[in-house]
Structure 1
């Protein structure tokens, strides 16, 4: 069985898994908050931590045909969004190798300015 790499929280505000709070991305990684997923609002992010991929699938999305893979939390195996592997439409290729994380499945994480760790009681579901 493959061993999963899990990164610990950094000293930045960001988003974690809504189930287990595993750190997924920094606020600075969010490219757009105007995306939509299966569960409503979603964020396009440039990088993600503590995840693994599902198999590639070709899907017809609102913006055209894409080859995508579902993305799961590496700590609790919960579905958290998807990543784009290929876009057939030229103007949609900016999404390739980026992640769409579903907002309803995330937890906002605020860093404590003194320790750089999540502040006690300061992880909230938004």
Structure 2
């Protein structure tokens, strides 16, 4: 019998608070300059940043997206 497993997701490395679904990931290679820190709402650990503004037209799709640092998150249900 196949075991039921929930969606693949990412959690805070510090407190295991669930923070993002794997299906919501659109890229694994973002870089940015104009950013704002993103925190875990439970433990306040800095997890990454928000891409606030892109100056090149080809990069505008990044605006408003969140970047999570690999070292600050853990995989769940993989």
TM-score, scaled to structure 2: 0.82
Query: Quick check: 1:33 aligned with 2:33?
Result: no
Task: State the alpha-carbon separation in 2 of the partners of residues 84 and 34 from structure 1.
Answer: 13
Q: Shift in Å at residue 34 of structure 1?
A: 2.3
Q: Shift in Å at residue 32 of structure 1?
A: 1.1
Aligned residue in 1 for 2:55: 88
Structure 2 spans left out of the alignment, 5+ residues = 1-5
Task: State the alpha-carbon separation in 2 of the partners of residues 87 and 70 from structure 1.
Answer: 16
Give every structure 1 segment of 4 or more consecutive aligned residues whose post-TM-superposition deviation is greater than 2 Å. none
**Which of 68, 73, 78 in structure 2 is aligned with 1:106?**
73
Structure 1 spans left out of the alignment, 5+ residues = 1-10, 37-60, 112-126
Judging by fraction of residues, say which structure has more strand.
Answer: 1
TM-score, scaled to structure 1: 0.53
Judging by fraction of residues, say which structure has more helix.
Answer: 2
